[in-house]
Chain A
């Protein structure tokens, strides 16, 4: 088996301790950093699909994302300035009045694994803060807003509509337990995802 194939397989099953060595060996075999990164992104797509279908659970997704990030640590010094593989920057946060962060963190990890640079604004983020973050950061292509409570659905709507009204050229994806595709469309979001695995797929779809 080629080393790059091994990297791919081991990321998928979250072998965090093995990945840095394997990535180095894949480089030594002559693979470019971009090829290795793409192999890991592909692994995480498989992980996302398996999570969405209920084949794997949150711990498996977390360790796979951690394994990938260990691999990225090896590649990063070799890829400085290389934006060819990046899908741009994603601003992510849980909307005003809502303190839930676990789902948002999972989505953040999966979107990062798909090839985005993540700027995480945390929880209880006012609508204007999303807009400011788009302006403050370079190459923002996507804003991801999370809302976990029926009571914070109005704040989700406000966030989406404030971002859209700003005229900035970004896509907006929303999610969270009470959010439905119909509600996402009604408030003007460009995309909706029911879980972290599908969020990564949808995010990519929206910006490519």
Chain B
């Protein structure tokens, strides 16, 4: 039997996997790294960039607050005065828990995986609101290029420290680039603003020993795949069924693998049942096949919003591995 790591590589390289890669099993996520403050359920926090996040207890996630009082970047043409990056944590103390966790991982079995979020696009709209960020791409492109460069420099400084400390084998990087029906920006605009940014970031990780780049965007994004390949993404996690995943596997599978195809929205809700989970998981596995595909909820971490859904999905994938391999 292949290790989880070997089985993943066989799957994404078009080799001979002996079972489905089961959701996030190949990633040993090092969540202790000092990535910055994030709001938990019921909390309102201000992070190192000055962005206020609120997560009301009865909601499924947190949101940046963008009223006039809380918006960090009020005028893109004045971003140099309004946006100040926090310091990257460099003390042994700040990294101790992450280092201890990484050292405890059997790297022949799993990938030591660093979680990185938010992404560059998300940072632009966390700082200034989605509407302002998207309009600024048109109205003040030079300032947006400069702001994006500044965000990239910050991420590279963090990446350098991350690599020195835990030597990750895999980066699991979030940046949501679309809604369920469309990418937020046109492919042309994406190529102008975000492709160069991510070529620098993912290029840096790969030049420094990272074997695998997994990018999360639980959205439509089929029109951005050539850029995903160009920037060095190995696995697109969160791919929704609106993308027609079997067609993408056929077209791009040899260059990029797809992880998802079980839309969280249709299985992960208060009245979920094992039958519903089985229906959608079976459909995903049967339609997408054994190569270049990892069945997975589209949610961006290894759990579900409602207790039991993630575990039930894992159980169904195990059963399907026995039946289909």
Q: Which residues of A contact B (CB under 8 A)?
A: 14, 16, 54, 56-60, 62-63, 66, 97, 99, 102-103, 105, 149-151, 177-178, 194-195
CA distance A105 to B179 in the complex (A): 14
CA distance A102 to B179 in the complex (A): 10
Residues of B118-157 contacting chain A, CB below 8 A: 130-131, 134-135, 137-139
A59 touches B134 (CB 8 A): yes
Smallest CB separation, A108 vs chain B (Å):
11
Question: Could you mark each residue 273-317 of chain B with 1 if its beta carbon is under 8 Å from any beta carbon of chain A, else 0?
Answer: 000000000000000000000000000000001000000000000
- Determine the chain A residues whose CB is within 8 A of the CB of B137 once the complex forms: 59
Counting CB contacts under 8 A, is B204 at the interface? Answer: no
Partner of B180, one of A97, A99, A151, A177: A177
A151 touches B138 (CB 8 A): no
B59 touches A99 (CB 8 A): yes
Total residues of chain B contacting the partner, CB 8 A: 27
CA distance A16 to B139 in the complex (A): 9
B266 touches A150 (CB 8 A): yes
A105 with B58: in contact, given A151-B269, A177-B180 (CB under 8 Å)?
no
Smallest CB separation, A181 vs chain B (Å):
15
B269 touches A56 (CB 8 A): no
- Determine the chain A residues whose CB is within 8 A of the CB of B268 once the complex forms: 150
A59 touches B185 (CB 8 A): yes
Counting CB contacts under 8 A, is B6 at the interface? Answer: no
Smallest CB separation, A180 vs chain B (Å):
11
Partner of A57, one of B63, B186, B265: B186
CA distance A63 to B131 in the complex (A): 9
Counting CB contacts under 8 A, is B24 at the interface? Answer: no
A102 with B59: in contact, given A58-B185, A66-B135, A178-B265 (CB under 8 Å)?
no
Q: Which residues of B contact A (CB under 8 A)?
A: 56, 58-60, 63, 130-131, 134-135, 137-139, 179-186, 189, 265-266, 268-270, 305
Most chain B beta-carbon contacts within 10 A, residue among A54, A58, A97, A194? A58
Most chain B beta-carbon contacts within 10 A, residue among A14, A62, A178, A195? A62
A99 touches B186 (CB 8 A): no
Most chain B beta-carbon contacts within 10 A, residue among A59, A66, A178? A59
Q: Nearest chain-B residue to A178 (Cβ)?
A: B265
B181 touches A195 (CB 8 A): yes
Partner of A99, one of B63, B131, B183: B63
B265 touches A14 (CB 8 A): no
A63 touches B182 (CB 8 A): no
Smallest CB separation, B7 vs chain A (Å):
32
- Determine the chain B residues whose CB is within 8 A of the CB of A105 once the complex forms: 131
30 A-B pairs whose Cβ atoms sit less than 8 Å apart in the complex: A54-B182, A56-B186, A57-B183, A57-B184, A57-B186, A57-B189, A58-B134, A58-B182, A58-B184, A58-B185, A59-B134, A59-B135, A59-B184, A60-B138, A62-B134, A62-B135, A63-B139, A97-B58, A97-B59, A99-B59, A103-B179, A105-B131, A149-B265, A151-B269, A151-B270, A177-B179, A177-B180, A177-B265, A178-B265, A194-B181
Partner of B265, one of A56, A60, A150: A150
- Determine the chain A residues whose CB is within 8 A of the CB of B138 once the complex forms: 14, 59-60, 63
Smallest CB separation, B77 vs chain A (Å):
14
List of 5 A-B pairs having minimum Cβ-Cβ separation, nearest first: A59-B134, A150-B269, A57-B186, A102-B130, A62-B135
Q: Nearest chain-B residue to A97 (Cβ)?
A: B58
Partner of B60, one of A59, A149, A178: A149
- Determine the chain B residues whose CB is within 8 A of the CB of A97 once the complex forms: 58-59
- Determine the chain B residues whose CB is within 8 A of the CB of A14 once the complex forms: 138
- Determine the chain B residues whose CB is within 8 A of the CB of A150 once the complex forms: 265-266, 268-269
A63 with B265: in contact, given A99-B63, A177-B179 (CB under 8 Å)?
no
CA distance A151 to B63 in the complex (A): 17
- Determine the chain A residues whose CB is within 8 A of the CB of B265 once the complex forms: 149-150, 177-178
Q: Nearest chain-B residue to A102 (Cβ)?
A: B130
CA distance A102 to B8 in the complex (A): 37
Smallest CB separation, B242 vs chain A (Å):
10
Smallest CB separation, A51 vs chain B (Å):
9
